[in-house]
């Protein structure tokens, strides 16, 4: 098993959980069986990340573009999401995990929001780890929403256009409140971002694995973290072994002056 140095963990790990449909097909089962099995992988990985000491875990559960899937698949995904939230409640509370959703939550069915809202509320003060579920989420949409929020402040005379800088924009993005992404994992073999955390991943280390999401387990997470620990994060500077210093990150992913 991969050796992880727990003193140098990525602060924020994000995962594009892909490959449920292909996993199901390989088993001769229907796509939605893959999603059901995928929700068990979520449980395993949340637990493993918490045990390891990761502070923030962001999981891409449903993209804004996934609404374009067949109605029956979307409905099943929403029911599975509701089941997951009901089932994991005790586990999250027991392990001090704060759950929150990022994305356009107003598009989620009431049946999901009625379990999501109380779970967010009841775990809000927990500080073991922040688990962000990206639901009806798109990276471009999040940037648009934050621009809109700043534009409203400018229109109201509360913000000068010249005062807008990267931290101002990032401060309007819910995905950034746990800091920029350090390690971005994508399962399922595709090597693309698919509109996930566009802003926050600017300097993320990318890790792609062919393992399909329902088959992903704790050792796979450790393997990704171990690979992360082999990387030399330069943030545009020279390699660390010739005197450049890379990390830790200041808020919003910008190395601090003087580091």
Nearer to Mg ion (CB atom), residue 18 or residue 205: 18
Q: Least CB distance from residue 173 to Mg ion, whole Å?
A: 24
85 in contact with ligand IPE (CB under 6 A): no
State how far the Cα of 20 lies from the Cα of 39, in Å rounded to an integer: 10
State how far the Cα of 65 lies from the Cα of 34, in Å rounded to an integer: 19
The answer to whether 228 touches 207, Cβ cutoff 8 Å, is: yes
Nearest to 134 by CA among 179, 104, 107: 104
State how far the Cα of 80 lies from the Cα of 61, in Å rounded to an integer: 11
Q: Across the chain, which distance is largest between two alpha carbons, in Å?
A: 60
Among positions 54-83, residues that touch ligand IPE (CB under 6 A) are 60-63, 66, 77
166 in contact with ligand IPE (CB under 6 A): no
State how far the Cα of 243 lies from the Cα of 4, in Å rounded to an integer: 25
Angle at 150 between CA 146 and CA 151, to 5 degrees: 115
153 touches, from ligand IPE, Mg ion, none (C-beta below 5 to 8 Å by class): none
Among positions 181-220, residues that touch ligand IPE (CB under 6 A) are 188, 190, 192, 194, 213
Which residues carry out catalysis? Answer: 18, 66
Q: Which string of x and - marks every residue 224-243 that binds ligand IPE (by CB under 6 A)?
A: --------------------
Nearer to ligand IPE (CB atom), residue 72 or residue 151: 72
33 in contact with ligand IPE (CB under 6 A): no
The answer to whether 174 touches 197, Cβ cutoff 8 Å, is: no
Q: Least CB distance from residue 188 to Mg ion, whole Å?
A: 6
Please report, as ranges, the residues that interact with ligand IPE according to CB under 6 A: 16-22, 60-63, 66, 77, 188, 190, 192, 194, 213
């Amino acid at each position: 098993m991969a050796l992880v140095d727990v003193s140098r963990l990525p602060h924020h790990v994000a995962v594009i959980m892909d490959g449920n449909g292909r996993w199901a097909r390989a088993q001769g089962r229907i796509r939605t069986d893959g999603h059901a099995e995928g929700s068990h992988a979520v449980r395993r990985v949340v637990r493993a990340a918490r045990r390891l000491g990761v502070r923030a875990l962001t999981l891409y559960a449903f993209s804004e573009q996934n609404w374009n899937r067949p109605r029956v698949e979307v409905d099943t995904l929403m029911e599975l999401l509701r089941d997951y939230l009901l089932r994991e409640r005790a586990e999250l509370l027991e392990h001090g995990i704060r759950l929150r959703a990022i994305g356009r939550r107003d598009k989620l069915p009431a049946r999901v929001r009625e379990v999501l809202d109380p779970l967010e509320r009841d775990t809000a003060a927990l500080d073991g780890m922040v688990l962000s579920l990206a639901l009806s989420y798109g990276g471009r949409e999040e940037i648009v929403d934050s621009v809109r929020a700043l534009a409203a402040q400018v229109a109201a005379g509360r913000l000068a256009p010249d005062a807008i800088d990267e931290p101002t924009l990032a401060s309007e993005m819910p995905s950034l409140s746990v800091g920029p992404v350090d390690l971005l994992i994508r399962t399922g073999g595709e090597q693309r971002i698919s509109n996930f955390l566009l802003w926050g991943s600017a300097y993320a280390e990318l890790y792609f694995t062919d393992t399909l999401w329902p088959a992903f387990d704790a050792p796979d997470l450790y393997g990704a973290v171990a690979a992360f620990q082999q990387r030399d994060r330069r943030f545009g500077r020279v390699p660390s072994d010739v005197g450049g210093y890379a990390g830790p990150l200041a808020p919003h992913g910008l190395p601090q002056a003087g580091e």
